[in-house]
C-alpha cells in the first residue's frame, strides 16, 4: 500500500491522528526535500523533530529522486506499506496526481490522508472561498523570460468580481549555469518569491498591457507562513504592501474582488493602520 499523507501547513503537530497512525504502520517514509526546507523550516538536524514524533527515519526525496526512483518506491509499496509525506494536502497546490496514476497503473493500492492546504486555509483572510476565480501562479521573471499569462486570468476574475489567489514561485535545486556548461551537477540556493517581488512583477505587467485590470490602488492581502504560529496577514493596496517586510517564506498573495460586508469586516482586522505601513498583531492566528 502507498500512503500519500498530507502534513498540513505549520509544523509537525499538524499531522492528523489518522496520518500518524499510517506513518507508524509504514516500513519506509519518503518526504519531499523542498517541503521540509521551506515549510517546516527544518534543516538536517530539524528533521529529527518529525523523526522523533514518527519513531522512525525519513528518507528525503528530492525532485530528481522522485522522478528517477519512483518505480523503485512503487514496487516497494507493492509488498509493504510505504508513506510519501507531503506538505499541505496531497492534492493541494502541488499536485501528486501523477504519483497516484503511476501507482494505479502498476496495480499498487493508494490511500490518501487529507490535510489543510493553502487552497482552503487561505480562507482565514476573511474572503469567502466560493468567491475565488481561477488560481494563478506568478513565476520569477528573468532577463529574457517574463511570461504573463496570469494577467488575462486575473483580469477575467476581476471583471467578474471574484478574488484571485496568486501562488508565488519556488525554485529549488535549480542547476547553476556553470554546472549546465560543465556537465557537473551544482545547484543554486533555494529561492522563494516574496510578496514584494510578486507585486513588482504584477505592476510591471499591468504597465505593459495597460488595460487597468488592476493597479497600485488595488486591494490585496499578503499572507506569509500561512498556518504557522508566526503567520502574518496584512491587507492593503498593492502600493502599501510593497513596503511591508513579510519575513520568511512561504508567501502568497490574494487580489481582492467585490466584497460582502462580512468580508470587509474581517479584512478590517488585517488592514495597515498607519502611513508608514507598520502592522500590529491582530489577535487572529
Q: Which residues form the interface with a second copy (CB under 8 A)?
A: 6, 8-18, 20-21, 88-93, 95, 97-98, 100-101, 104, 109-112, 114-117, 119-124, 126, 128-137, 156, 160, 162, 167, 227, 262-263, 265-266, 269, 282-285
Q: Is 226 annotated as a binding residue?
A: yes
- Nearer CB in complex with a second copy: 160/243: 160
- Nearer CB in complex with a second copy: 59/262: 262
Burial profile 232-263: b = 16 or more Cβ within 10 angstroms, e = fewer = bbbbbbbebbbebebeebbbbbbbbbebeeeb
The least CB distance from residue 274 to a second copy, in Å, is: 19
Q: Is 221 annotated as a binding residue?
A: no
The least CB distance from residue 168 to a second copy, in Å, is: 13
Written as one string, the DSSP assignment of 214-240 is S-TT-EEEEEESTTSTT-EEEEEEHHH
Q: Is 133 annotated as a binding residue?
A: no
Q: Is 260 annotated as a binding residue?
A: no
The least CB distance from residue 216 to a second copy, in Å, is: 26
- Nearer CB in complex with a second copy: 1/179: 1
The least CB distance from residue 11 to a second copy, in Å, is: 8
CB-based contact 2:111 (threshold 8 Å): yes
- Nearer CB in complex with a second copy: 169/179: 169
Q: Is 137 annotated as a binding residue?
A: no
Q: Is 126 annotated as a binding residue?
A: no
Place of cell 501528486: 96
Q: Is 89 annotated as a binding residue?
A: yes
- Nearer CB in complex with a second copy: 101/177: 101
Residue 139's Cβ-side half-sphere holds a number of Cα atoms within 13 Å equal to 10
Grid coordinates given for 197:
517581488
CA distance 140 to 146: 8
The least CB distance from residue 18 to a second copy, in Å, is: 4
Residue positions forming the annotated binding site for S-adenosyl-L-methionine? 9, 89, 92, 117-118, 168, 226, 251
User: Binding site residues, as ranges?
Assistant: 9, 89, 92, 117-118, 168, 226, 251
Amino acid at each position: 500500500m502507498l500512503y500519500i499523507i498530507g502534513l498540513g501547513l505549520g509544523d509537525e503537530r499538524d499531522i492528523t491522528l489518522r496520518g500518524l497512525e499510517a506513518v507508524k504502520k509504514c516500513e519506509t517514509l519518503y518526504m519531499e526535500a523542498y517541503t521540509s526546507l521551506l515549510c517546516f523550516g527544518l534543516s538536517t538536524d530539524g528533521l529529527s523533530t518529525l523523526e522523533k514524533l514518527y519513531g522512525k527515519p525519513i528518507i528525503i526525496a528530492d525532485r530528481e529522486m522522485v522522478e528517477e526512483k519512483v518505480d523503485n518506491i512503487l514496487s516497494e509499496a507493492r509488498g509493504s506499506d510505504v508513506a510519501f509525506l507531503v506538505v499541505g494536502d496531497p492534492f493541494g497546490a502541488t499536485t501528486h496526481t501523477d504519483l497516484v496514476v503511476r501507482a494505479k497503473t502498476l496495480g499498487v493500492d493508494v490511500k490518501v490522508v487529507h490535510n489543510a492546504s493553502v487552497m482552503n486555509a487561505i480562507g482565514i483572510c476573511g474572503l469567502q472561498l466560493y468567491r475565488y476565480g481561477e488560481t494563478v501562479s506568478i513565476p520569477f521573471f528573468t532577463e529574457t523570460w517574463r511570461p504573463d499569462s496570469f494577467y488575462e486570468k486575473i483580469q477575467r476574475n476581476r471583471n467578474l468580481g471574484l478574488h484571485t489567489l496568486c501562488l508565488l514561485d519556488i525554485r529549488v535545486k535549480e542547476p547553476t549555469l556553470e554546472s549546465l556548461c560543465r556537465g557537473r551537477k551544482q545547484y543554486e540556493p533555494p529561492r522563494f518569491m516574496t510578496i514584494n517581488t510578486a507585486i513588482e512583477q504584477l505592476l510591471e505587467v499591468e504597465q505593459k498591457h495597460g488595460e487597468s485590470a488592476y493597479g497600485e490602488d488595488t486591494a490585496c492581502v499578503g499572507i506569509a507562513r500561512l498556518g504557522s504560529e508566526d503567520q502574518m496577514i496584512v491587507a492593503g493596496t498593492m502600493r502599501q504592501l510593497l513596503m511591508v517586510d513579510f519575513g520568511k517564506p512561504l508567501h502568497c498573495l490574494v487580489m481582492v474582488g467585490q466584497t460582502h460586508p462580512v468580508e470587509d469586516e474581517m479584512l478590517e482586522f488585517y488592514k495597515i493602520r498607519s502611513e508608514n505601513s507598520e502592522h500590529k498583531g491582530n489577535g487572529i492566528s
